[in-house]
């Protein structure tokens, strides 16, 4: 049994953001597993079987990948962005933890990728230039009360806050509620960045003050970043402003 | 004047973790600027002037880069990891904000890289699999009281905590104090990961319970990750345990 399982990050979309390490793993794979739109980003070739699946089937997908690896296949599970950030790596290790004890001895590796928040931050300046946090706004796998608690504590800590999975058809009100709650904790001038489909043809990125931020600007593919009180805009004549958070914080902050 | 300024992330160390986008920018550059050990990671070639500088000279380095770009050079400022995470991107935008107004109209781009925390997380499993934060433990540019406040709030929020710049010769006691403080907020079984020099020949990564974590395990090149109460170990027969944080959180957490 010489199978292996790699969980690889494809980055936000563009081919030039995929690391050579991930490209090499994709070229060696016998089986490719993941959410169908991510699997479709990898070119077909002889010797590669592509198994696309629906969203929200992470544990089934992880089990499938582990069984194929245990049977001797070279399996690559693909995630968008970084596989360790609200993506397939945790799902695979949950399946290993709960599954057959022989799975623990498989050759399992995670290959990092460019996460959505760093790709989005890079596009607009350096909004994550100081301490920051990342919160999955979905309440599919945790109680909404915990999301609210984390948002309040993060704002009180002065973190820049990156919100993943801000809304979906099944979760239409959560982002609006989160923005209202953050307006209770932070001044209205704090910049909020809405970043969608970074590095692909539909890329869109905009900054508005928290006082004017509305959930309708976001969709399933949007990453939302809430600045801290320190986050600043640099206005430009013929381009959108740069947004950055300075490295220094004064004693009064 | 057709100069440009790119702030590029070289990732944690290995060449196979540098994105093709960054490699292309390095190949087009006329001038390379950064902390000397990072500049040294880029091969010399004809037509490329390499300007290495000491650590803790970020603003001087940023001003130098902007002046060269304004003079028509194709300048690349290199950072380790991701340039937007406690690295050169924020320093460059601080210099733009405070500097000559013509600098705002320069062609300035940030190219993301694989950050230390995602490279370290990938090496050991998926410790950042749920909500997390990143805190720069250096009190060179912010008051230590603010670092303590953020650590407490982050622990209370249940974030996994990535600590950048945990200590240096000039800051010998801060990590020990941070670990003591976290022991007041979190149970002693919480896993703490010490990750050094990920992806290069001196790579070392280890996990200990918070109760036994001591600052002496870290040096300037170490990233420290503090798990949440949910973070789990998967023991293996012939290898170090995997560490991961499940995607689900129960109501009681």
**Domain coordinates of chain A in residue numbers?**
4-114, 117-244
Contact B15 A20 (CB under 8 A): yes
A108 contact residues in B (CB cutoff 8 A): 242
Count of C-beta atoms within a 10 Å radius of residue B168: 16
Which architecture does CATH list for B117-244?
2-Layer Sandwich (3.30)
What's the confidence (pLDDT) of residue A251? 47
Per-residue confidence at A55, pLDDT binned at 50, 70, 90? Answer: confident
Q: What 3-state DSSP class applies to B168? A: strand
pLDDT in tens, A174-205: 999 999 999 999 999 999 999 999 999 999 99
CA of B79 to nearest chain A CA: how many angstroms apart? Answer: 13
Instruction: With beta carbons less than 8 A apart as the criterion, state whether B41 and B78 touch.
Output: yes
| Residue A252 pLDDT | 44
Say how far apart CA A186 and CA A189 lie, in whole Å: 8
Q: Do A234 and B111 touch (CB under 8 A)?
A: no
CB contact under 8 A, A112 and B119: yes
> What pLDDT, in 10s, does the model give residues B51-97?
998 877 899 999 999 999 999 999 999 999 999 999 999 999 999 99
Average pLDDT, chain B: 95
- pLDDT grade, residue A57 (50/70/90)? confident
A203: Cβ–Cβ under 8 A, 6 or more apart, which residues? Answer: A123, A196, A197
Of the candidates A114, A118, A134, the beta carbon closest to that of B131 is on: A134
- Write down the architecture of domain A4-114 according to CATH: 3-Layer(aba) Sandwich (3.40)
Digit-coded pLDDT (tens) for A67-78: 999 999 999 999
Nearest chain A residue to B241 by CA distance is A104
Residue-level pLDDT at B252: 44
CB-based contact, A186 to chain B, within 8 Å: no
The pLDDT confidence band at residue A1, using thresholds 50, 70 and 90, is: low
pLDDT tens string B91-126:
999 999 999 999 999 999 999 999 999 999 999 999
- CB contacts < 8 A, A to B, total 243
Kindly identify which residue of chain A lies nearest to residue B143, measuring between CA atoms.
A251
Whether the CB-CB separation of B230 and B158 falls below 8 Å is answered with yes
- The minimal CB distance from B118 to the residues A112, A122, A145 is found for A112
B192 in contact with A at a CB cutoff of 8 Å? no
Pairing state of beta strands A132-136 and B4-9?
unpaired
């Amino acid at each position: 049994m010489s199978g292996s399982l790699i969980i690889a990050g494809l980055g936000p979309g563009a081919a030039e953001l995929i690391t050579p390490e991930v490209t090499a793993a994709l070229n060696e794979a016998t089986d490719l597993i993941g959410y169908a739109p991510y699997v479709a980003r990898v070119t077909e070739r002889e010797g590669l079987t592509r198994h696309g699946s629906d969203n929200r089937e992470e544990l089934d997908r992880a089990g499938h990948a582990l069984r194929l690896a245990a049977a001797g296949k070279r399996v690559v599970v693909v995630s968008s962005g970084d596989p360790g950030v609200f993506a397939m790596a945790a799902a695979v290790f949950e399946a290993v933890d709960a599954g057959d004890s022989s799975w623990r001895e498989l050759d399992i590796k995670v290959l990092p990728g460019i996460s959505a928040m760093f790709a989005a931050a890079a596009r607009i300046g350096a909004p994550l230039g100081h301490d920051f946090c990342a919160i999955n706004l979905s309440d599919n796998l945790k109680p909404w009360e915990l999301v609210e608690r984390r948002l309040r504590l993060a704002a009180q800590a002065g973190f820049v806050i990156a919100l993943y999975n801000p809304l979906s058809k099944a979760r239409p009100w959560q982002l609006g509620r989160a923005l209202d709650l953050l307006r209770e904790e932070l001044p209205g001038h704090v910049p909020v960045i809405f970043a969608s489909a970074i590095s692909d043809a539909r890329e869109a990125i905009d900054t508005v003050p928290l006082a004017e931020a509305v959930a309708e600007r976001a969709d399933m593919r949007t990453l939302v970043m809430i600045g801290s009180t320190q986050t600043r805009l640099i206005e430009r004549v013929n381009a959108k402003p740069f947004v950055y958070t300075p490295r220094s914080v004064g004693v009064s902050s």
